[in-house]
Amino acid sequence: MIEEATQYHVNEKGYYGRFGGAFVPEMLYPNVEELRKNYLQIIAEPSFQTEFQALLRDYVGRPTPLFFASRLSEKYGTQIYLKREDLCHTGAHKVNNTIGQILVAKRLNKQRIVAETGAGQHGVATATVCALMGMECIVYMGELDIERQASNVARMKMLGAEVRAATCGSKTLKDATNEAMRHWINNPVDTHYIIGSVVGPHPYPDMVARFQSVISEEIRWQLREKTGRENPDYVIACVGGGSNAAGAFYHFLDEPSVRLIALEAAGKGLTSGHSAATTALGKPGVLHGSRTILMQTDDGQITEPYSISAGLDYPGIGPLHAYLFDSGRGEFYSATDEEAVQAAFELAQLEGIIPALETAHALAHLSRLGARAHEVVVINLSGRGDKDLATYMKYIQ
Ligand SMILES: *Cc1c(COP(=O)(O)O)cnc(C)c1O
């Protein structure tokens, strides 16, 4: 977590190239400004690092293994390693970020946490750390999502969180985010807003990327132990907002020999009108406080995204990813619902690991990668598939 100043890290004004910034209503400015002024210093404090590292170890279960997938490797004729974020407490990488942010909130003397959630995964990860720290937790969730994701709503409630319905607009993630921000505006002194991905106004994208960067920090030493070299030839991750990808890419951003490959959800196909492939379909615009690439109509209305995986169902990507795309440092592809489900079954039957549907999009790229026999491919296994069983069951005869 040392200060780094390279072209792929956020600059002092909060930008990655022409993306990023903090486009917030005046009422929200003091909250965001308090965070911006303090986050780097707080994260750098030895007492913060000690507490953060201890929780990652003893509560989350880190380091997560880097697993050599021998049967998958044989099938694709290359060396494939899986970074097992699916083994984190709560079943995905999201908790790395919520742990970091709640520790920041404590040091800013906040007593209450507010968060948005789409499918409920970030809501559960937030409710979890609030229970751990004995903090009040309010999660805004679209009314439609509350109906669709009953089990995650139950989890949040069991963990002691209050789930509030966002009843405006399309009653989904975008509207929940608006409601959460409104709540924060009205409670600026005692509340911290925990965003769930590398999105939102500066400093959120940078802060979340730093908390998730533990993923690539571990990959480096684990790969050195296993292969004698720190740098793989490829790192592959799925991108919704982009936090697991940012974490997996972070320590390789300035290593040009490492190809960084991001997979978006093509949904029913890029031209089907039911997709979430932001870089393929979107253009620059401002959403939730930052300038990035967004799926939108010609007159700038955000288009409703679609993916079989709730975690990739977001109309934008974080500004870091917009910049990686724009600059060519990152390579962006997409996989359809069908391709993702196929890849999930393949991993289950070749390695005995059932991945989250989000992760399955990254796995789907293996068949197109064309990696050579001696090359090393790391896939970030962002989460486990238990939550997606109802969907997978539709594909089982
Ligand atoms: C939420 C989620 C994602 C997508 O979020 P990012 O911020 O893009 O990482 C990916 N995988 C899993 C398992 C998730 O729960």
pLDDT tens digits along 208-220: 999 999 999 999 9
> 206 pairs with which residues across the strands?
none
- In the predicted model, what is the mean pLDDT of residues 314-333? 97
pTM: 0.97
For residues 388 and 277, membership in a common domain is answered with: yes
For 36, the domain range is 24-57+94-208
Query: So what's the pLDDT on residue 1?
Result: 42
Residue 192 forms part of a structural domain: yes
pLDDT digits (tens, 9 = 90+) for 73-125: 999 999 999 999 999 999 999 999 999 999 999 999 999 999 999 989 999 99
Cα–Cα distance for residue pair 220/150, rounded to 1 Å: 38
SS3 per-residue string spanning the chain = CCCCCCCCCCCCCCEECCEECCCCCHHHHHHHHHHHHHHHHHHHCHHHHHHHHHHHHHHHCCCCCEEECHHHHHHHCCEEEEECHHHCCCCECHHHHHHHHHHHHHHCCCCEEEEEECCCHHHHHHHHHHHHHCCEEEEEEEHHHHHHCHHHHHHHHHCCCEEEEECCCCCCHHHHHHHHHHHHHHCCCCEEEECCCCCCCCCHHHHHHHHHCHHHHHHHHHHHHHHCCCCCCEEEEECCCCHHHHHHHHHHCCCCCCEEEEEEEEECCCCCCCCCCHHHHCEEEEECCEEEEECECCCCCECCCCCCCHHHCCCECCHHHHHHHHHCCEEEEEEEHHHHHHHHHHHHHHHCCCECHHHHHHHCCHHHHCCCCCCEEEEECCEECHHHHHHHHCCCC
Which of 73, 85, 110, 116 is an active site residue? 116
116 catalytic per annotation: yes
Cα–Cα distance for residue pair 252/377, rounded to 1 Å: 13
For residues 272 and 388, membership in a common domain is answered with: yes
For residues 199 and 296, membership in a common domain is answered with: no
* Distance from Cα 215 to the centre of ligand 1, integer Å: 14
Cα–Cα distance for residue pair 148/141, rounded to 1 Å: 11
Q: Which of these three, 193, 208, 223, is where a domain ends?
A: 208
For residues 177 and 98, membership in a common domain is answered with: yes
Q: Looking at ligand 1, which atom is closest to the CA of residue 383?
A: 13
pLDDT at 6 over 80: no
For residues 263 and 355, membership in a common domain is answered with: yes
pLDDT at 270 over 90: yes
Q: Looking at ligand 1, which atom is closest to the CA of residue 91?
A: 13
Extract the tokens encoding 310: 């709730």
Residue 7 forms part of a structural domain: no
Using the structure block, give the residue that is written with the tokens 């697991």: 244
Please enumerate in sequence order all residues whose Cβ is within 8 A of that of 242, keeping only pairs 6 or more positions apart, or say none: 197, 198, 199, 262, 317, 318, 320, 321
Residue 271 forms part of a structural domain: yes
pLDDT digits (tens, 9 = 90+) for 385-396: 999 999 999 999
* Distance from Cα 87 to the centre of ligand 1, integer Å: 14
For residues 198 and 117, membership in a common domain is answered with: yes
For residues 110 and 161, membership in a common domain is answered with: yes
Which of 382, 384, 386 to mutate to test ligand 1, by most ligand atoms within 8 A of the CB atom? 382
Residue 8 forms part of a structural domain: no
For residues 129 and 43, membership in a common domain is answered with: yes
- In the predicted model, what is the mean pLDDT of residues 34-51? 98
* Distance from Cα 312 to the centre of ligand 1, integer Å: 7
Cα–Cα distance for residue pair 215/249, rounded to 1 Å: 8
Query: So what's the pLDDT on residue 11?
Result: 97
Which of 73, 83, 85, 94 is an active site residue? 94
Q: Which of these three, 189, 208, 227, is where a domain ends?
A: 208
Instruction: Decide: 86 in ligand 1 pocket, CB within 6 A.
Output: no
Query: Taking a C-beta distance cutoff of 8 angstroms, is the pair 316, 241 a contact?
Result: yes
**Please, which pLDDT band fits residue 237 given cuts at 50, 70 and 90?**
very high
Instruction: Decide: 79 in ligand 1 pocket, CB within 6 A.
Output: no
What are the two backbone dihedrals, phi and then psi, of residue 262, each rounded to the nearest 5 degrees? -110, 135
Query: So what's the pLDDT on residue 171?
Result: 87
Per the structure, how many domains does the chain have? 2
Instruction: Decide: 117 in ligand 1 pocket, CB within 6 A.
Output: no
Residue 232 forms part of a structural domain: yes
Q: Give me the torsion for CA of 205, 210, 212, 216, rounded to 10°.
A: 130
Task: Tell which residue, 342, 56, 77, has the closest CA to residue 215.
Answer: 56
Query: So what's the pLDDT on residue 397?
Result: 80
For residues 43 and 173, membership in a common domain is answered with: yes
Task: Tell which residue, 245, 305, 251, has the closest CA to residue 278.
Answer: 305
CATH number, domain of 319, equals 3.40.50.1100
Using the structure block, give the residue that is written with the tokens 């009953």: 150
Residue 188 forms part of a structural domain: yes
Residue 2 forms part of a structural domain: no
For residues 367 and 383, membership in a common domain is answered with: yes
327 catalytic per annotation: no
pLDDT at 2 over 80: no
Q: Which of these three, 158, 190, 208, is where a domain ends?
A: 208
94 catalytic per annotation: yes
* Mean pLDDT for all residues in the chain: 96
Residue 4 forms part of a structural domain: no
**Please, which pLDDT band fits residue 5 given cuts at 50, 70 and 90?**
low
pLDDT at 9 over 90: yes
Query: So what's the pLDDT on residue 4?
Result: 53
For residues 259 and 314, membership in a common domain is answered with: yes
Query: So what's the pLDDT on residue 34?
Result: 96
> How many percent of the chain have pLDDT more than 70?
99
pLDDT at 3 over 60: no
Of 194-198, 244-248, 313-317, 369-373, minimum mean pLDDT range: 313-317
For residues 218 and 161, membership in a common domain is answered with: no
Query: So what's the pLDDT on residue 169?
Result: 85
Query: So what's the pLDDT on residue 7?
Result: 86
